[in-house]
Structure 1
Amino acid sequence: MAGQIQNRTKFLNNISEQLGRPKPIKVTKPEWAYNPQGKTLTDLNQNELVDLLEAQCKNIHTGFVKTNKSCLNKVLDETIKSYNSGKVIAWNDSRFETNDINLDCYDTYVWNEEKGEDNRIVAEQANIGITFSDMTLAESGTVVLFSGKGKGRSVSLLPTHYIAIVPQSTIVPRYTQAAQKMNEMMNETDRFPSCINLISGPSNSADIEMELVVGVHGPVKATYIVVEDI
């Protein structure tokens, strides 16, 4: 059942009265004469967006591999082995089956909603977490992940290494286009993700002395596998 807002006007009017301010009025959304954020990088075609994403991955210390569906298992296997294999945790996502991805040949745990906290314990102990990217921002090298049933947030946040499988069709120029798609989702679907994670490569921080340290509070290494024909 959708949530309902009750007594909003009375509540806001009471706050205004206590602060000695006029009662709030309806705000009219301004009409901007210029919209540069909606135009930046939109002249790039899909292949050029892939090139931009690849270039940005170098800046954010993230591995980048481009492949197609027929070679995806081979590339994934090479990436997993480059991270010394070990325990793998993955989303319970139909896209693995749709794209003939075989995770059974690894020590793989698939997220199980019924096991609750056990999932997070496995994720914390796993060497590699694997998810699909729901949207991908070429400008910043960011994968956008929608939480949902079978798609635990811990899979991309707790393992030592992270692999994102990026369908080329998910790549958009920048966050502006992602926000537009999210607004469309919110208006068109009954269930909007309770959490949206934006991940730009391995975890890092420059809080101390402005010195960049990678792998502070999450995966120490990450790889994006861009798949041409998903």
Structure 2
Amino acid sequence: MTGQIQNRQAFIEKISQKLKRSEVPSAIERPQWAYTPQYNVLRDKTQDELLEVLQKQCKLINTTCKVTQLADLQEAVYETIQSYGGGPVIAWQDERVQQYGLSELFNERLPKEQVTVHIWDPVIGRENISLAEKANIGITIAEQTLAESGTAVLLSHKNHGRTVSFLPEKSIILIPKSTIVPRMTQAAVEIRKRILQGEKVPSCINFISGPSNSADIEMILVVGVHGPMCMTYIVIDDL
């Protein structure tokens, strides 16, 4: 059923009268602000400096942050999986998995060691969610990462199930160094740019800042209340 807007013109005219306008405007012009402090924080930092900011922030949000060259990524992911107690592992279906050289790890090396790996498959529908719920580790890839807050930006779509990032007990997020940005401002600008260019941006965009935390009860911090108890960011030096 398609919704309908009732009394729209009357409502707009009333607002215009309250704003003391002589007539209802036919279009709205985007304001030009004299000051834009949101763009200034960390604006002049290099990628190396943004990485340093991210690493410091990760210590505050109980997140392990590793840095590796692309050639050593497979070993870094393998070691992290081992430190987290092995599988089951669930990961996104993403072309970057092959680009980063992780196909051999997921399809051969881990299965040979009796570590179960499931790659998200839209064909099997909700069975993916059941597998994510049973998984020990979920592996995702950040589209951007905000240095200021240590926040990974994850785009969900049919091959990127959002449950991969919050149902498993542990989480590994791969972060290309080139995609680290100062803060939320730059992430929002990039998302808007994609939309204006006609790109179909997912309706579900997750901003994840380390393992789940809650201090609602007597300001006592509890980790892992409604999501992963442990999280590792693996920054790939792709520059």
Distance 1:120 1:6, change over 3 A: closer
> In the alignment, which residue of structure 2 is the partner of 1:74?
75
> In the alignment, which residue of structure 2 is the partner of 1:204?
213
2:221 corresponds to 1:220: no
Shift of 1:31: 1.7
Gaps of 5+ in 2: 18-23
> In the alignment, which residue of structure 2 is the partner of 1:118?
127
Mapped to 1, the partners of 2:204 and 2:224 lie a distance apart of: 22
2:141 corresponds to 1:132: yes
- Aligned to 2:50, the other structure's residue is in SS state helix
> In the alignment, which residue of structure 2 is the partner of 1:144?
153
Shift of 1:190: 3.7
Write out per-residue CA displacement over residues 138-168 of structure 1, whole angstroms, 9 at most, x where no aligned residue.
0000000111221100000100000000000
Mapped to 2, the partners of 1:22 and 1:69 lie a distance apart of: 57
- Aligned to 2:238, the other structure's residue is in SS state coil
- Aligned to 2:59, the other structure's residue is in SS state helix
Distance 1:6 1:160, change over 3 A: closer
Write out per-residue CA displacement over residues 186-225 of structure 1, whole angstroms, 9 at most, x where no aligned residue.
1113411121000000011111111111100010010000
> In the alignment, which residue of structure 2 is the partner of 1:13?
9
Shift of 1:103: 1.2
Write out per-residue CA displacement over residues 88-142 of structure 1, whole angstroms, 9 at most, x where no aligned residue.
0000001010111121213100001011110000001100000110110000000
Shift of 1:13: 2.8
The amino acid that maps onto 2:98 is E
Mapped to 1, the partners of 2:55 and 2:47 lie a distance apart of: 13
> TM-score, length-normalised on structure 1?
0.91
2:183 corresponds to 1:187: no
The amino acid that maps onto 2:9 is N
Mapped to 2, the partners of 1:16 and 1:180 lie a distance apart of: 29
Distance 1:64 1:12, change over 3 A: same
Percent pairwise identity = 46
Mapped to 1, the partners of 2:199 and 2:30 lie a distance apart of: 25
Distance 1:109 1:15, change over 3 A: same
Alignment of 1:42-191 (within 5 A): 42-101=43-102, 102-104=105-107, 105=110, 106-191=115-200
Mapped to 2, the partners of 1:221 and 1:83 lie a distance apart of: 9
When structure 1 is superposed on structure 2, of 26-35 and 216-225 the one drifting more is: 26-35
Task: Give RMSD over aligned pairs.
Answer: 2.0
How many aligned residue pairs are there? 223
Shift of 1:22: 5.2
Mapped to 1, the partners of 2:44 and 2:70 lie a distance apart of: 27
> In the alignment, which residue of structure 1 is the partner of 2:20?
none
Gaps of 5+ in 1: none
Write out per-residue CA displacement over residues 28-67 of structure 1, whole angstroms, 9 at most, x where no aligned residue.
4322111110111011000000110000000000011000
